[in-house]
Amino acid sequence: MGRTVSLRSDALSAEISTLGAELRALADAEGRALLWHGDPAFWTGRAPLLFPIVGELPDLTLVHEGKGHPMRRHGFARFSEFEVVEEAPDRATFRLLPSAATRAEYPFDFALEVTFALEGATLAMEAVVTNPGPGVLPASFGYHPAFLWPLPYGGTRAEHRVIFEHPEPAPIHRPVNGLLSRASEPSPAAEGVLKPDDAMFERDALIFLGLNSHRLQYGVPGRPGLDITFPGMPDLGIWTKPGAPYLCIEPWSGYATPEGDTRPFVEKPGLLHIPAGEERRFVMTVRLIPEVAA
């Protein structure tokens, strides 16, 4: 499981595992949990990091220069042991570098550093993907935190809302056998408010591509909840297993290969192409707020 790094501010506490640099717990000052606890009856994940892909590749295989490399759903970062390069009471940084194991799946050089910082009622997460060169680095990155549904502030699951910063009228997609559906369907958040229920997830996740919003609130209107930002990340997955007491709110930069797309990996839609010597940053913040907007 790796070792656990604990962080604390006056309003929040967090625990992060060196395995996957995964957020394993997030709680308020009274110790009330905000993050799903990983019950294997539903899903053992809590907040995995998705790198170097989001979703799946066809046949779970990365094809590069005519050679196939087995690549698991959402990539290998969540199964990898990270090095702790900074550790303080309120912040910690974790680093993953290439190894024989990563090169077997992903034949590229990279550096991935992820920093978690608590300040008051805010958890800030910043991932930095660096390309040491010499060629272009093709990669995607995503966050996958599972927040409790319901949150511990009263109100039923049915009363919870995801309130987007702006209306989201564009059609959404679904996963189909791990890939991105070519078909689309009307957005359930066209007016900017999503009312999640179990039936909504019987056909897997909701996938929003090219969002208007980079901020949202989650919880019961009029009660304490979460304000979530993800500047610069264009895509979003929202997912649960029907009946499970969590809701994953997942900012992404990238998405699964569209069904039927057989191009080599470097031509995959949704990838970033990071030039040699450059980096890309991916930020997500979670702030505990006293009242979700009505």
Residues 6+ apart with CB under 8 A from 262: 58
Which residue matches tokens 């980079």? 214
First-last CA distance in the chain: 40
Q: Which pLDDT belongs to residue 147?
A: 98
Residues in Cβ contact with 178 at an 8 Å cutoff, skipping those fewer than 6 apart: 55, 56, 60, 73, 256
Residue 2's pLDDT is: 79
Q: What six digits make up the tokens of 60? A: 């779970």
Is this model's pTM higher than 0.85 or not?
yes
Q: Could you list the pLDDT tens digit for every one of the 294 residues in the chain?
A: 679 999 999 999 999 999 999 999 999 999 999 999 999 999 999 999 999 999 999 999 999 999 999 999 999 999 999 999 999 999 999 999 999 999 999 999 999 999 999 999 999 999 999 999 899 999 999 999 999 999 999 999 999 999 999 999 999 999 999 999 999 999 999 999 999 999 999 999 999 999 999 999 999 999 999 999 999 999 999 999 999 999 999 999 999 999 999 999 999 999 999 999 999 999 999 999 999 998
Residue 210: is it exposed, middle or buried by C-beta count within 10 angstroms (0-12/13-18/19+)? exposed
The closest of 24, 2, 139 to 75, measured between CA atoms, is 139
Is-contact 149 196, C-beta < 8 A?
A: yes
pLDDT for residue 1 = 60
